[in-house]
């Protein structure tokens, strides 16, 4: 009887742990999606500084685009400002998230598509970004967009 009870308790604890891990991943993915939705709003309002709040404010931030690799938060913001100097250039941003997968403890990659609706001509592309939890906050540490 003691063995059966011990086995049932162990199985219950394993099931609880699995459910808890799944719940944690759901919470983490929702937090990442929330950041991206805020970025979508900020970009669409022409607020590039607000958009950049989703990124790691570090010289180690990496951005890979059609012009190659760019390093650093400030450099990335400056490049966005050069490429999208007005509201007509930023347009309205829509993300379509295709996949969010856990890489390891405290990090995920997100793959998807973006669409910019603009009077000067629409723009579309794909992206893969890496989020990492830094000091309790989810931040993009690497971005590949084209």
pLDDT at 5: 44
Domain chopping of the chain, boundaries: 2-145
Q: Choose the CATH number for 2-145 among 3.20.20.60, 3.40.190.10, 1.10.1740.10, 3.10.450.50.
A: 3.10.450.50
Taking only the tens place, the pLDDT of each residue in 1-45 is: 455 444 444 444 444 455 588 899 999 999 999 999 999 999 999
pLDDT at 18: 58
Q: What percent of the chain has pLDDT over 90?
A: 84
Mean pLDDT, the chain, whole residue set? 90
Taking only the tens place, the pLDDT of each residue in 89-111 is: 999 999 999 999 999 999 999 99
Mean pLDDT of 99-125: 97
Taking only the tens place, the pLDDT of each residue in 61-79 is: 999 998 899 999 999 999 9
What distances in angstroms separate CA 24 from CA 20, 31, 33, 79, 102, one per listed residue?
6, 11, 14, 35, 11
pLDDT at 17: 52
pLDDT at 106: 96
pLDDT at 14: 47
pLDDT at 79: 95
Please calculate the CA angle 40-140-134 and round it to the nearest 5 degrees: 125
Q: What is d(CA 74, CA 59) in angstroms, rounded to the nearest whole number? A: 8
- Please tell me the total number of residues recorded for the chain in this structure: 146
Has residue 88 got a pLDDT over 70? Answer: yes
pLDDT at 43: 98
Q: What is d(CA 74, CA 99) in angstroms, rounded to the nearest whole number? A: 28
């Amino acid at each position: 009887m003691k063995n059966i009870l011990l086995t049932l308790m162990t199985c219950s604890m394993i099931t609880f742990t699995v459910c808890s891990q799944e719940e944690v991943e759901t919470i983490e993915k929702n937090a990442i999606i929330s950041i991206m939705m805020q970025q979508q709003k900020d970009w669409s309002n022409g607020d590039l500084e607000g958009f950049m709040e989703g990124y790691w404010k570090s010289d180690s931030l990496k951005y890979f685009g059609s012009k190659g690799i760019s390093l650093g938060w400030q450099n990335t913001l400056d490049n966005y400002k050069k490429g999208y100097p007005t509201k007509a250039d930023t347009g309205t941003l829509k993300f379509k998230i295709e996949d969010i997968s856990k890489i390891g403890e405290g990090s995920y990659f997100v793959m998807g598509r973006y669409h910019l609706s603009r009077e000067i001509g629409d723009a579309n592309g794909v992206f893969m970004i890496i989020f990492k939890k830094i000091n309790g906050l989810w931040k993009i540490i690497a971005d590949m967009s084209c």
